[in-house]
Amino acid sequence: MDIAEDNDTPCSPKRGRPARGTEEARRRALLDAAEEVFMNQGFGEGSLDAIAKRAGVSKKTIYCFVNNKEELFAAVMKDHIERSPLPAIEQDIADAATLERTLAHNLAEVGRARLIPFAVNVFRLTIAEAPRFPEIARTFYREAPERHIKMLAEWLRVQMEHGLIRLDCPMEAATILSSAMILEPLRAAALGVSELPSPSAIEARANTLARLFLNGCLLRSKDEAHAV
């Protein structure tokens, strides 16, 4: 639908007709409605008509913001990302102890931002709908796990340049770290085999991952084993 040719849309109201709410208010209502409909009805069954009705806007209003349902799903994902952005990670690290604390802190912060009920619901929805709608699976991966993986990979690369660590592939290492921190608890919650971890459990998991990743757990001699 070419919105530019539709002169009777909320995007370009007729002269003398007052706009119903602000553009931002309509956008907020639309995103909230889309999230509710997608989570309750699924992506395939959740129609733009149902979303428009839930938001209290016309279907034409939806096309003021997006071109199709896939773009609306992406907008819902991006909205959550913008409201809970990934925490920055310090680049200038002085020593090994600071490196471990910095990595653990980032993993914990990301865990608190991503291990939330919305993420569980989106994960379930994406897995269920991916065979029919692969684009929403790509959107989920791009807007959720890939963001952290790329950020962490760049941080690991910088630490390699500083001579603090040695890795064959920073991207692969970042994928393993991010997945261990987020994917496994998220998957367990999505399958209903456990609850989302508490803040203290998230912090403990982050500390363990950072320690294992940077120091390993293999004892290199019998003397080391007896010393434990």
CATH of the domain at 71: 1.10.10.60
State the Cα–Cα distance between residues 134 and 84, nearest whole angstrom. 25
**Cα(221)–Cα(203) distance, rounded to whole angstroms?**
31
Q: Same domain, yes or no, for 206 and 96?
A: yes
Res 220: pLDDT: 66
Q: Residues 9, 3: contact at Cβ < 8 Å?
A: yes
Only one residue has tokens 């471990």, namely 100
My answer on whether 67 and 107 are in the same domain is no
Q: Both 120 and 147 in a single domain?
A: yes
Cβ contact 209:107 at 8 Å? yes
Which pLDDT does position 92 carry in this prediction?
Answer: 84
Task: Tell me the whole-structure pTM to 2 decimals.
Answer: 0.79
Number of domains forming the structure of the chain: 2
107 and 60 in one domain? no
Residue 92, classed as helix, strand or coil, is coil
Give the separation between CA 211 and CA 189, rounded to whole angstroms: 25
| Assigned domain for 42 exists | yes
pLDDT digits (tens, 9 = 90+) for 75-121: 998 898 888 778 889 888 888 889 999 999 999 999 999 999 999 99
> Final residue of a domain: which of 24, 41, 76?
76
Residue 227 lies in a domain: no
**pLDDT (0 to 100) of residue 216:** 83
Indicate whether 225 belongs to any domain.
no
The pLDDT value recorded for residue 15 is 35
Helices of type H across 42-133? 48-55, 59-65, 69-83, 96-114, 117-129
**At 1, which helix (H) or strand (E)?**
none
Residue 16 confidence (pLDDT): 36
Beta strand ranges found along the chain (DSSP E): none
Find all residues with CB under 8 Å of 63, minimum gap 6, and list them. 1, 3, 6, 9
Residue 115 token pair = 């291990």
How do the pLDDT tens digits run along the chain, 228 residues long? 333 333 334 454 433 333 445 888 889 999 999 999 999 998 989 899 999 999 998 898 899 899 999 999 999 988 988 887 788 898 888 888 899 999 999 999 999 999 999 999 999 999 999 999 999 999 999 988 999 999 999 999 999 999 999 999 999 999 999 999 999 999 999 999 999 999 999 999 999 999 999 998 777 655 554 555
User: Which pLDDT value is given to residue 223?
Assistant: 57
Range of the domain at 7: 3-76
**Spatial contact of 59 and 48, defined as CB atoms under 8 Å apart:** yes
Whether residues 70 and 182 share a domain: the answer is no
Task: Dump pLDDT digits (tens) for 165-183.
Answer: 999 999 999 999 999 999 9
Distances (CA, A) of 170 to 81, 96, 158, 173, 178: 24, 17, 10, 5, 12
At residue 186, the pLDDT reads 95
Question: Are the CB atoms for 86 and 95 separated by under 8 Å?
Answer: no
In a domain, 176, yes or no: yes
Q: Is the same domain home to 158 and 64?
A: no
